[in-house]
Amino acid sequence: MKKILSPLVIVLLMSAFIACANKDQQEQEYQHTDIDKAHNSQNSLSWGGVYAGEIPSASGSGIKVQLTLHYNGTYEISYKYIGKKGSAYTSTGAFTWNDAGSSVILDTKDFPPYYKVGENRLFQLDMQGNMITGNLANNYILKKIKDEEFKN
């Protein structure tokens, strides 16, 4: 019986050691994966085009928003309060990119100027440029409805 247990114990210990060694190697490979900082929304996505959506409103049913970003660094935005006549607002201007190339900043003080650019989406950010969180966060996403045809 002793002769059977000794080899069995050795095999079990070796199996455990090999399993742990493989796990450590996989974790090391994962930890050394670098993110390519040269790729960002500004230079990797086809971001020019028309984005639209409905965002919450404190004084009504919501606000229809349409934002067009042009490759020449200009924008057009329109707001329309749902269910209120004569409540449309339209503005044009220029925008810049943040240092990370992930968000655009509209040159306005009349409405939220920060939008994070995603794949066929714009995420409206708060007035400090941070992601909106909480239960209503998904209501601040504009979806791309039309591509801009030419890069200028």
Q: How far apart are CA 104 and CA 69, in angstroms?
A: 9
Evaluate whether 139 touches 54 at the Cβ level (below 8 Å).
yes
The DSSP code sequence of 27-85 is HHHHHTPPP-TT--HHHHS---EEEEEEE--TTSS-EEEEEEE-TTSEEEEEEEETT-T
Closest CA to 120 of 48, 23, 72: 48
Domains of the chain: 44-147 (2.40.128.640)
pLDDT value at residue 148: 76
pLDDT value at residue 111: 82
The DSSP code sequence of 87-98 is -EEEEEEEEEE-
Q: How far apart are CA 101 and CA 98, in angstroms?
A: 5
pLDDT value at residue 5: 47
Query: pLDDT of the chain along its 152 residues, tens only?
Result: 555 545 544 544 445 445 555 544 544 554 544 555 677 888 888 899 999 999 998 877 899 999 999 999 999 999 999 988 878 889 999 999 999 999 999 999 888 899 999 999 999 999 999 999 999 999 999 999 988 765 55
pLDDT value at residue 44: 85
pTM: 0.72
- The bridge status of strand 74-81 relative to strand 114-118 is unpaired
Q: Which two tokens stand for residue 71?
A: 């490759």
How many Å separate Cα 2 from the centre of its chain? 62
